Structure 1
Amino acid sequence: MATAMFPLGMVLLPHMPLPLRLFERRYLIMLGRLLEEDEPEFGVVLIERGAESGDHDAQARFGIGTMARITHVAAGEDDVQLLARGTRRVEVVEWLPDDPYPQAVVRELPELEWDDDLAELRARAEDVVRRFRLRVSEFAELGADADVELDDDPVASSWQLAGIAPLGPLDLQRLLRATSLRELLSRLIEAAEEASQTLGATAVDAVDEELAAMLGRDEPDDDDEAESR
């Protein structure tokens, strides 16, 4: 069975919101067909190479993605604002022709299962992510993901923690491929700690460069010393 697909330059994780602005004809056609269904949804995969809009033949796409269920649609003058939410993970078995929009045959991946033994690891992951977010906020404005309220369900909240962590798409794609909740949480902690250390080193380098520049301006060159003598 063909599933409508939306390749993007970002990773959608389960239980995370996805706001989209649709203006390309192919995706407007896709939306029109999806809205005929009782529970309209489409798959989201990360673009490995190529642009979101334009020639899809030039795209390379990752094979693991997330289904997005449409929750709200609002039509504008020349586009459509859409809000969806990530549900279950899927693997692309076969890409079909992009006619009139991207489609694929997909299979569902197993849901990750909670074990009470993971409670301590889950708590540590939340602490690391929130500390990392606080550190990043000193240098950049964080997106609306910060407003996501963590679910009471530990599996859902684990995905949401990964979703609000200010990580790059390749790190998030690696998290999406986790085969167990322990693997997801461990990878999340590792990625957030490594990114935080990199951010700290970058900040220190920037301060060092600024101080060096200031000291360089303050130090007289040889000509200035000769004139003073």
Structure 2
Amino acid sequence: MPMFPLGAVLLPGEPLSLQIFEPRYVALIQDCLDGHREPDFGVVLIERGHEVGGGEVRTEVGTVARIVDVVELPGSRFRVRCAGTDRLHVDRWLPDDPYPRAEVRIRPDDAGADDTALLAGLRERAARLHELTTRLARRNGIRRPPPSASLAELSADPTTRSYELTARLPIGLTDRQAALAAPDPHTRLATLTDAVDDAIAMMEFRLL
């Protein structure tokens, strides 16, 4: 599969917009649109390094991105809109010729345990984190505090719901990647709980 290492974590169900200008990724998009394959490529997080130039260290768990809209721009550039679909696991990286490629397999979630209690706990923690963030913003003279993460209208499907929570909670790249790599929805929510607890502890420390 063609691969696009990014300094971001794409989750299943999330949109992704890209400005394509580097020659190797221009070639990737052109090949994805040649009509001989699905317009898909894999997105993985760059653990170390940079998006431009190559030589980066990449994660093994990522997400399939399906191209839904392309605008060709002057100067061999593209503006591309994608949607995250399935989670993938990289079994083997192939030579970057002419762009990153890998042998991958789709990695669905395991069933996992009931996550009802974890979901309720996450709602409480998200409210607590927003309260602390609002207090810190007011202390620093910020009149309009950041909005609260909306955890309403979540999917009834445990896997979809767990990705919606990952997308909405104010957590960092490392925590998003850990959630993406979790084997099942219950473990994913437990990972999110730890991440929000760390964020609460940091806010409480800053408010001392």
TM-score, with normalisation over the residues of structure 1?
A: 0.74
Letter in 1 for 2:45: L
Deviation string, structure 1 residues 187-225 (Cα, Å, up to 9, x no partner): 1111112112213322x25xxxxxxxxxxxxxxxxxxxx
Task: For structure 2, list consecutive stretches of 5 or more residues without a partner in the other structure.
Answer: none
Equivalence for 1:51:
50
- How many pairs are equivalent? 198
Write the mapping of 1:15-26 to structure 2, written as runs, cut at 5 A. 15-26=13-24
Q: Describe the shift of the 1:43–1:130 C-alpha distance in structure 2 as closer, same or farther (beyond 3 A).
A: farther
Identify the match of residue 132 of structure 1 among 114, 129, 132.
129
Aligned equivalents of 1:73, 1:130: Cα separation in 2: 39
Post-superposition shift, 1:104?
Answer: 0.5
Report if the CA contact (8 A) 1:46-1:65 is conserved: yes
Equivalence for 1:195:
199
Post-superposition shift, 1:132?
Answer: 3.5
Write the mapping of 1:1-229 to structure 2, written as runs, cut at 5 A. 3-37=1-35, 39-54=38-53, 56=54, 58-78=55-75, 79-113=77-111, 117-129=114-126, 131-132=128-129, 135-136=132-133, 139=137, 150-202=154-206, 204=207
Secondary structure (helix, strand or coil) at the match of 2:105 reads: strand
Deviation string, structure 1 residues 46-76 (Cα, Å, up to 9, x no partner): 111111102x1x2111111111111222233
Post-superposition shift, 1:36?
Answer: 2.6
Post-superposition shift, 1:113?
Answer: 3.2
Report if the CA contact (8 A) 2:4-2:100 is conserved: yes
Report if the CA contact (8 A) 1:18-1:86 is conserved: yes
Post-superposition shift, 1:126?
Answer: 4.0
**4+ aligned runs moved over 6 Å, structure 1:** 140-143
Secondary structure (helix, strand or coil) at the match of 1:39 reads: coil
Q: CA RMSD in A?
A: 2.9
Secondary structure (helix, strand or coil) at the match of 1:122 reads: helix
Deviation string, structure 1 residues 142-194 (Cα, Å, up to 9, x no partner): 79x97x97445332121011012221111111111211211101111111121
Letter in 2 for 1:13: L
More helix by share: 1
Post-superposition shift, 1:31?
Answer: 0.6
Task: For structure 1, list consecutive stretches of 5 or more residues without a partner in the other structure.
Answer: 206-229
Post-superposition shift, 1:4?
Answer: 0.5
Q: Which has the larger radius of gyration?
A: 1
Report if the CA contact (8 A) 2:109-2:159 is conserved: no
Aligned equivalents of 2:27, 2:169: Cα separation in 1: 33
Q: Using the aligned pairs only, state the percent identity.
A: 37
